[in-house]
A and B are shown apart, each in its own frame.
Chain A
Amino acid sequence: MRSVPRVWRERVTKYRLIGGACKDCGKTFYPYRRSCPVCGSDNVEPRKLPETGVVETFSIVRSPPTEFVGQAPYVVALVRLDDGTLVPAQITDVEPDEVHEGMRVEAVLRRYREQGEKGIIEYGIKFRPVISNE
Chain B
Amino acid sequence: MGNRVFIVGVGATKIDEHWDLSLRDLMTEASRKAIQDAGLSKRDVEAVFVGNMSSGYLQGQEHLGSLLATWLGIPGVAAHKVEAACASGGAAVHSAYLAVKSGVYDCVLAVGAEKLTDATTSDATSALMMAEDQEYVAFAGFSFVALNALVYRTYMKKFGVKQEDIALFAVHDHKYAANNPLAQFPKPVTLDEVLRSPPVADPIRLLESAPLGDGSAALVLCSEEKAKRIGKDILIELAGSGLATDILSLHDRPDLTTLAATVKAKSSAFKQAGIESKDVDLLEVHDAFTVLGVIHLEDLGFARKGEGWKLLKEGQLERDGDLPTNTMGGLKARGHPVGATGVYQVYDLVTQLRGEAGANQVPDAEIGLAQNVGGVGGTVVVNIVRRVR
Contact = CB atoms under 8 A, between A and B. Distances in A.
Contact of B201 (A29, A61, A112, A113): A61
B320 to A, nearest CB: 37
Contacts of A31: 135-136
A29 B252 CA distance: 6
B146 A59 contact: yes
Interface string A76-101: 10100000001111100000000001
A55 B149 CA distance: 14
B192 interface: no
Contact of A74 (B120, B136, B141): B141
Contact of A62 (B139, B201, B247, B252): B201
A65 B122 contact: yes
A88 B145 CA distance: 15
Interface stretch (B78-86, B123-131, B168-176, B280-288): B123-131
B154 A57 contact: yes
Contacts of A57: 150, 153-154, 157, 256
A87 B139 CA distance: 12
Interface in A22-58: 29-31, 37-38, 57-58
A65 B128 CA distance: 9
A74 B129 CA distance: 16
Interface string B213-254: 000000000000000000000000000000000010111101
A76 B252 contact: no
A62 B143 CA distance: 9
A110 to B, nearest CB: 11
Given A60-B201, A88-B140, A78 B250 contact: yes
Contacts of A67: 126, 141
Interface of B: 120-123, 125-126, 129, 135-143, 145-146, 149-150, 153-154, 157, 198-204, 247, 249-252, 254, 256
Given A61-B146, A89-B140, 16 more contacts: A29-B252, A31-B135, A38-B252, A58-B150, A58-B153, A59-B145, A60-B199, A61-B143, A62-B199, A63-B201, A64-B141, A65-B122, A65-B125, A66-B122, A76-B146, A88-B140
Which 3 residue pairs across A and B have the least CB separation, nearest first? A59-B149, A65-B126, A59-B146
